[in-house]
Structure 1
Amino acid sequence: MRDISVPALAAPLRTGGLADSVFDTAAHQPDFVQLARREDRAPGGWEEVSAKTFRDEIMALARGLLAEGVRPGARVALMSRTRYEWTLFSYALWAIGAQLVPVYPTASAEQLRCILNGSAVTAIVVEHEAHAMTVAEACDEHSRLRRLWQLDLDCVARLTEEGTRLPEADVHRLRHAVTPRSTAAIVHTSGTSGRPRGCVITHANLAAQCDTLYAGWGGLLAPPGERPSLLAFLPFAGVYGLMVQVACLRGGVQLAHQPDASSDELLPALASFRPTFLFAVPYVFEKICAHARWAAEQAGRRRTFDAAMTVAVRYAEALAAEAQGTGRGPDPVLRARHALYDRLVYCRIRELLGGRVATAVSGGSPLLTELALLFAGIGITVYDGYGLTETSGAITVQPPGKVRFGTVGLPLPGSAVHLALDGEVWVRGAVVFAGYLDGGEGTPGSGLYDGWLPTGDLGHLDEEGYLVITGRKKDIIITSNGKSVAPQGLEQRLCAHPLISQSVVVGDNRPYVTALITLDPEALAHWRRLRGDTGEDGGSGSGPSPQEQLEAEVRRAVARANASVSRAESIRAFRVLPGEFSQESGLMTPSMKLRRAAIVRAYAAEIDALYARGEREAPDTRSERRRWAAAGLYAR
């Protein structure tokens, strides 16, 4: 099977733009609770925002933007974490026909300069002074930037005051002039292999994405009789987060914002807001499991926790086999063990998310099969999907009630998938963007071939037409023996280990495959505390030292990853690096994707050393271990 398409579910947007849904809701249901924002004095710490209040705030801000010279078609950048004002500004800009240019709050001056100049941005909203300083550094003789507004200086209030001299009719006139084909946002790709490219996303693109998801998957957003609600913590600078925002406001899902997605901040916010649904990336699901595991270890219940996780996976596998007609489902003993662990363990994990989440969506990168099975066994079905910036979000997704673990689902209704002869995935549909910005005046280019978008990803369709992504075309490793190796699967399995945060598999024109590995500082600190590890190499003489145990943990993670591939594709040597890859070092994009080529260049000496040693074990002597410990490195 090389082609598959799915009929459309939702009618296309025929008139108007994205801001219209907010004004329509306020007109027909003014008291409808549309959002929630942080307010310590409110019950539970969240203040409800009605459709009328939100509409009025958008109108006031839109008038202020007009008073400050923002006109239809103007491109305004927004550089901020995920917060209420982000949503307010984006809809105010759309209400007057302006174009949003999202910028990651962690973007460097060089990255920001590329975006501002390439998109011909004339104004920018930043969160705080550090962002304003980055903007100042990014501006050069090519910059068209004329205005800057700062959120923590209460620019919303100042713009609102400025707009009082303009009539609301001016906003309505411009809003009614917006068409579905008007540009809503210029969203930039991650730039893993070069400069980020600006993708022209129209109002129709985002409406098609969100309306289709709501029409097909809306019933999964909350239990029957409950109002659906969602806590947004993904960065809105990426198309995935942007889509989540629009989907909530078009679908009547109460939307709240969480700026900090670290475990220490996100988990308390989930517990207090208690959403009914979760949009996340694989990393978040991994951190939830890690947090639960650490809590079990601290309580002395690690063995119980590990047994419960094994049962969860087996239970989900049995249910999946039953649904696909290849098995009888869980046997009575497995059902009984699952019920026991549901009371002892699984309910605690669900409580981490507020206790009401039974369904979630994962995107950004493929979800590891074992992790999807684990959450299904815990009682949270995770629907995996696949998409790009160029597809306004998802282009494939698991159908409701028909999850096939290890795949990213079927084409989104109204879309099609085609596999080229070399296995590259091509897609088309109403969600596919209008084109790239060119390098000159910031006007749309093509990037499409008769409506088809070549994704650069490799994959195959299973017997039911579900898409399986196997890697990036440009990332395929060709060893000196002529063996083709897709690194993505190995890297995902390595990072499934709680201690491992990042991994890069290398081996182009080399005799075999090796890996660079980084450890999660938080997980490593927790691991050491539990074992009384001071960081020094030494032991009691009665057993392996903490240092030796750590080396063994990493070796076991590599062995587990290798179990999924042939000997020719397996990792023969690895190096654990002293620190993580970061944006500051130029080795990671603002969307947290690794710059593979830059990493290989930066660590060329370490990679050469791995091959110089060959496949033999590093000398297992106390002096050798002390040398690695002093450098913070451990090698096989």
Structure 2
Amino acid sequence: SLKYAILLDEVEHEESWVISLEDLKKAGKEERKASKESMQEIAAKTKPEDLWSIIYTSGTSGDPKGVILSHFNIAANVQQTQAHAKFKKNKRWLSFLPLSHSFERITSLFSFWIGGDIYFAESITKVPDNLKEVKPQYMTTVPRLLEKIYSTVIEQVISGPKAKQKIFNWAQHVGTKAVNKYLVYNKKPIGPLGIKYAWAKKLVFSKISAVFGGEFVRCVSGGAPLAPEIGEFFLMAGVRVQEGYGLTEMSPITHANVNKHLKFGTVGKALPDVQTVIAADGEILIKGPNMMGGYYKSPAETAEAIDKDGWFHTGDIGFIDEDGYLKITDRKKNIIVTAGGKNIAPAAVEREICASKFIDQAVVVGDRRKYLVAILVPSLEIIAKWGKKQNPPIEFTTYEDIVTSKEVNQLIKDELRASQDELARYEQIKYFFIAPQPFTIETGELTASMKIKRNEIINKYDLEIEELYNN
């Protein structure tokens, strides 16, 4: 049971079990004076199988579960990660993910272990400022941050002079060739293409790399899928994005792209000593030294997650390609089976929808229904700029202005029509409604790592969803 809660800020309280960080430091100093053992002696008593931490899952597909991780699990994952990724020591890292999240916890330990300096961002909104201040070489991130930077750059280009648009389009064309022939293999472009790429970097891409502080080398992105075109875009600018995969139950990293061969749209190859198989129904099964001991006080759920042969059932659907790279299709629980018997991975449809600069977030619905519908969150920032260019101009100052606007509703319809060209007819959205507020961590619709809580959102808007089908 919970014994103490530590407050980082000085706040008045009466509970004896709540103590401040300063009081904890004082108690630690007193204990150190009174103790006859050194930290090294205490550490030497620790066994590999001893409990390191219980980390609770985000609860995107059910109730949060306490994951039991040992010192061996964590030590194994730190060493597996470095053997796979080969980060250099004495480099600066920027951290902005919640410190309670397994991905960020392993990043902190990992950066210490290889001899790096880690800086903690003041807040998610201050990350752009902190990047310029810290000038990091490495960072772990989630796609949401990269998507925001990408959409901001594209919007600035579209709203800029025609001459700048032509230069940008030329640079992107050159960059795409450089990416496919050289950069994904971590090679420097040579020959005529190398000369053109050098000019593209000077005229365009150097400005994008400056957003990351000017010394950035690469980052590992996880927690959600990253659109391939975004990964390619940042690679053109000299920012290598290694997309990876993991789960809290695996301490957490199991796969990551190899730096000498990036394959966008995949989560890369398995880390050393991690075994991966695809079950008959497409589910990804994993085992390795970094696998949890089980769920805290939940033997039935542990037995359901880890089978008799020791394989952890991830709940994700995917496949391994000819190069040994893992590609995630969707969560097993999220797969939509339409009334016509068609299987649809909603994440893939949502990625197509969110390729529109006007749409920030999307949740697709349609299990056991005749067609798909969607709950959408438009981008207030982008639509506000769009509104000013209309004749006559339309003012959008609040998100509520967007929700009630007939013009925005028509704009989204047009965007959906354009963005769904590549989808099969049964995968296309027939109707949608705009959520009355954006999905946020505070409203319980996003996890701490900014993953969408699909079930929470669908349950919250069940009446609106029914209305789309009834009408």
TM-score category, normalised to shorter length: 0.7 to 0.9
Question: 5 Å matches for 1:613-624?
Answer: 613=471
Q: Cα distance, 1:362 vs. partner?
A: 0.7
Q: Cα distance, 1:288 vs. partner?
A: 1.8
Q: Cα distance, 1:522 vs. partner?
A: 4.4
In structure 2, the partner of 1:198 is: 66
In structure 2, the partner of 1:308 is: 168
Q: Cα distance, 1:549 vs. partner?
A: 6.2
Larger Rg: 1
Matched, 1:233 2:96: yes
- Residues 456 and 159 of structure 1: CA distance in aligned 2, closer, same or farther (over 3 Å): same
Partner amino acid, structure 1, of 2:140? F
- Residues 256 and 586 of structure 1: CA distance in aligned 2, closer, same or farther (over 3 Å): closer
Q: Cα distance, 1:402 vs. partner?
A: 1.1
Q: Is contact 2:175-2:200 (8 Å) kept?
A: no
In structure 2, the partner of 1:148 is: 18
Q: Is contact 1:458-1:471 (8 Å) kept?
A: yes
In 2, Cα distance between equivalents of 1:338 and 1:453: 45
SS at match of 1:169: coil
Matched, 1:605 2:463: yes
Partner amino acid, structure 2, of 1:577? A
In structure 1, the partner of 2:6 is: 125
In 2, Cα distance between equivalents of 1:433 and 1:242: 15
In structure 2, the partner of 1:483 is: 342
In structure 2, the partner of 1:218 is: 86
Which of 427, 431, 435 is 2:286 aligned to?
A: 427
Question: 5 Å matches for 1:139-538?
Answer: 147-151=17-21, 154-163=22-31, 165-167=33-35, 169=37, 171-219=39-87, 221=88, 227-262=90-125, 265-293=126-154, 295-296=156-157, 300-301=160-161, 304=164, 308=168, 311-312=171-172, 315-316=175-176, 319-320=179-180, 332=192, 338-439=197-298, 447-449=305-307, 450-525=309-384, 527-528=386-387, 533-535=394-396
In 2, Cα distance between equivalents of 1:522 and 1:611: 30
- Residues 124 and 317 of structure 1: CA distance in aligned 2, closer, same or farther (over 3 Å): farther
Q: Is contact 2:144-2:450 (8 Å) kept?
A: no
Q: Is contact 1:211-1:251 (8 Å) kept?
A: no
Q: Is contact 2:380-2:396 (8 Å) kept?
A: no
Partner amino acid, structure 2, of 1:558? L
In 1, Cα distance between equivalents of 2:426 and 2:385: 35
Q: Is contact 2:184-2:260 (8 Å) kept?
A: no
Q: Cα distance, 1:428 vs. partner?
A: 0.8
Q: Cα distance, 1:308 vs. partner?
A: 2.6
SS at match of 2:153: helix
Q: What's the CA shift string for 1:536-571, capped at 9, x where partnerless?
A: 9xxxxxxxxx96764455335424542332111111
In 1, Cα distance between equivalents of 2:7 and 2:166: 45
In 2, Cα distance between equivalents of 1:170 and 1:178: 13
Which of 437, 441, 458 is 1:579 aligned to?
A: 437
- Residues 586 and 279 of structure 1: CA distance in aligned 2, closer, same or farther (over 3 Å): closer
In 2, Cα distance between equivalents of 1:406 and 1:306: 28
In 2, Cα distance between equivalents of 1:317 and 1:451: 44
Q: Cα distance, 1:338 vs. partner?
A: 4.0
Give unmatched runs, 5+ long, in structure 1. 1-119, 137-144, 537-545, 614-636
Q: Cα distance, 1:439 vs. partner?
A: 4.6
Q: What's the CA shift string for 1:468-521, capped at 9, x where partnerless?
A: 100000001111111111001121233343432221000112111111101244
Q: Cα distance, 1:454 vs. partner?
A: 0.4
Question: 5 Å matches for 1:13-162?
Answer: 120-128=1-9, 147-151=17-21, 154-162=22-30
Q: What's the CA shift string for 1:393-436, capped at 9, x where partnerless?
A: 22111112111121111111111110000000000111211111
In 2, Cα distance between equivalents of 1:484 and 1:246: 41
In structure 1, the partner of 2:401 is: none
Partner amino acid, structure 2, of 1:480? A
Q: What's the CA shift string for 1:152-197, capped at 9, x where partnerless?
A: xx34543345435423625443222112221111111111232200
In 1, Cα distance between equivalents of 2:371 and 2:170: 33
Q: Cα distance, 1:311 vs. partner?
A: 4.5
Q: Is contact 1:436-1:445 (8 Å) kept?
A: no
Identity score, percent: 28
Q: Cα distance, 1:276 vs. partner?
A: 0.8
Aligned residues: 459
- Residues 548 and 255 of structure 1: CA distance in aligned 2, closer, same or farther (over 3 Å): same
Q: Cα distance, 1:123 vs. partner?
A: 1.7
Q: What's the CA shift string for 1:214-265, capped at 9, x where partnerless?
A: 233225x48xxxx311011111211100010010011111111113012xx1
In structure 2, the partner of 1:42 is: none
Q: Is contact 1:438-1:445 (8 Å) kept?
A: no
Q: Is contact 2:174-2:197 (8 Å) kept?
A: no
In 2, Cα distance between equivalents of 1:405 and 1:587: 27
Which of 553, 562, 565 is 2:423 aligned to?
A: 565
Q: Cα distance, 1:309 vs. partner?
A: 6.0
Partner amino acid, structure 1, of 2:367? D
Q: Is contact 1:312-1:338 (8 Å) kept?
A: no
SS at match of 1:364: coil
- Residues 356 and 530 of structure 1: CA distance in aligned 2, closer, same or farther (over 3 Å): farther
Q: Is contact 1:305-1:345 (8 Å) kept?
A: no
Give unmatched runs, 5+ long, in structure 2. 398-403
- Residues 344 and 319 of structure 1: CA distance in aligned 2, closer, same or farther (over 3 Å): closer
In structure 2, the partner of 1:592 is: 450
TM-score normalised to structure 1 length:
0.65
Q: What's the CA shift string for 1:7-51, capped at 9, x where partnerless?
A: xxxxxxxxxxxxxxxxxxxxxxxxxxxxxxxxxxxxxxxxxxxxx
